[in-house]
Homo-oligomer: A and B are copies of this chain.
Amino acid sequence: MLPLLMSRSLWNLRHRYPLTRRQIFRHLALPNGGGEFQSGEKTLVMQEETEKQTARQMYVDIGASTITRLPFATLEPEDIAFFQQLLPNRALTDPDVLASANVDWLQNVQGLSQILLRPQTVEEVSLILRHCHLRGLAITPQGGKTGLVGGGVPIFDEVIVSMALMNHIIDFDDWQGVLVCEAGCILESLMQYVEKRGRVIPLDLGSKGSCQIGGVVSTNAGGLRFIRYGSLRSNVLGLQAVLADGQVLDLMTQLRKDNTGYDLKQLMIGSEGTLGVVTSVTLLCPPMPVGVSLAYLGCTGFPGVLATLCAARSRLGERLSAIEFFDHQCAHLVHTHLGLNPPISGEFPFYVVVEMVDSDSHEDNEKISAFFEEVMEEGHVADGTIATTPGKVKTLWAYRERIPEAILRDGHVIKYDICVSINMMYDIVTATRQRFADRIKNTLGYGHLGDGNLHLNISLTTPDPTLHSDLNDFIYGWTAKHRGSVSAEHGLGVLKRHAIGYSKSSDAIALMRRLKNMMDPKGILNPYKVLPSEL
């Protein structure tokens, strides 16, 4: 069941006008932008919307900002015919299909696309983009729609280019652990594929069952294993992408090192489909660790959490493969909303999950036990348990991995994903809790301790745009003051693009815009994403 979250716009529309989502879609997606509602109740006119909509121009409210539709062409019958000929039975205009493709999984963003294309080859992607470029039609590349910032769904009537059917593994080099696959491969399928061959995918995400590798790369996703394997920027050895005009850019090297000219693939990694559509990826897959063990620890304060991090780094060194923390509030929700019983008795303000790997499994017990004893003896940790069998490791991981799910059941959720200096990473949780105590249901802090990456989540009883705006000002302002990132790993998409200025200088943003204009002069690639609108 999807949580009942929606954008301010959608929420307003739903509450002011009792329409189904399909009706909303049919209304706003009218090519000529007419104000008349084309449902059974044909006489209904949405006055406010009509005033805004002049010919082929529409507005939506996303979060606190209003977005104006840019003057792209609109989909004509000739376009539909072209796509249907190019992609027989794979150029879909069925409203039910579109209803699903138009909304992200958090239901924060509601697009209005009238067509979903499902190419099977890079040549088809190229011809789609070539057509859209010539026609001035905007497109949204779509992966698993698991992003948290609305980067993978249309905002207006952009043509959706789904990568779902480009889901084949092309090659696997056992010797070097290099996987070559199409962009639409599901992360979890790839994990299973390489694990059978003694390798692991160098990142792990909660959304692995749905997210696609092309989307993961386009978002430069981080996840749970970042501390061990680092950024996708060094693990993606090569990629293939289609540029705005349909040109295929083949950078599919399988080499670990290549300093021949500018590293163009970096332009595609993390640019959220605004500079090109990633169609294939070459990924370095490290050897699968033989032994995995885990410690689940309760700490009486954040200084204890930090001391545990220090101890893990020095005691476990190169074996440390993940170190995560979450606060009591998160643990409480996992217990109450998901029914998971706490692994340790007693309640603590903070919990830390430490995972270590080793190429010699017989050493695990000693290593993790020695670490556990040390942090207990030194008083950093008040209680804990360790796991050295795959089953127990998985069970303990669940308390951390299922936090997002538990939070989503707590009401309307506002998610922040910030990166600051590690020793101050919990300060903003406390400050937010203090400042907004009377207006917030729960303030929750968890995240990737080793990277200084905090997931600050706020749950509310009902959506509150004013509070949302106040929270943005407070949290982003604090992050900027401490030279942090307002999006550590989620990207900017549409929901956070206007926050870019908190983490990047105006000069840097101006250069990004020049880059975008150079790569996509008509701006057709995933518009309204990453870069703020030009005011």
Q: Which residues of A contact B (CB under 8 A)?
A: 173, 175-176, 219-220, 222, 226, 230-231, 233-234, 243, 247-251, 253-264, 266-267, 269-271, 275, 287, 289-290, 313-319, 357-360, 419-423, 448, 451-453, 483-492, 496, 499-500, 502-505, 507-509, 511-512, 514-515, 518, 530-531
Contact = CB atoms under 8 A, between A and B. Distances in A.
Contacts of A508: 249-251, 261, 264
Contacts of A448: 257
Nearest to A363: B363
Contacts of A313: 287
A452 B256 contact: yes
Contact of A487 (B231, B260, B422, B423): B260
Given A230-B234, A420-B255, A483-B254, A269 B261 contact: no
Contact of A421 (B173, B263, B269): B173
Nearest to A316: B359
A515 B518 contact: yes
A333 B313 CA distance: 42
Contacts of A259: 219-220, 222, 270, 485, 487-492
A446 to B, nearest CB: 15
A175 B226 CA distance: 18
A268 to B, nearest CB: 10
A228 to B, nearest CB: 8
A249 to B, nearest CB: 6
A517 to B, nearest CB: 9
A371 to B, nearest CB: 11
Given A257-B448, A259-B489, 20 more contacts: A176-B421, A176-B452, A230-B230, A233-B233, A249-B507, A249-B508, A254-B483, A255-B488, A257-B488, A258-B487, A258-B503, A259-B492, A260-B504, A261-B508, A261-B512, A262-B270, A263-B270, A264-B515, A314-B359, A514-B518
Contacts of A504: 260-261
B317 A289 contact: yes
A403 to B, nearest CB: 18
Contacts of A360: 317
10 closest Cβ pairs, A-B complex = A317-B359, A266-B266, A258-B485, A257-B488, A234-B234, A260-B503, A256-B451, A318-B318, A231-B234, A230-B234
Contacts of A490: 259
Given A176-B452, A263-B269, A508-B264, A258 B419 contact: yes
A222 B257 contact: yes
17 contacts: A176-B421, A230-B230, A243-B511, A255-B483, A256-B452, A256-B453, A257-B419, A257-B488, A258-B485, A259-B270, A261-B504, A315-B359, A318-B319, A319-B359, A514-B518, A515-B518, A518-B518
Contacts of A419: 255-258
B234 A500 contact: no
Nearest to A258: B485
A261 B531 contact: yes
A91 B260 CA distance: 33
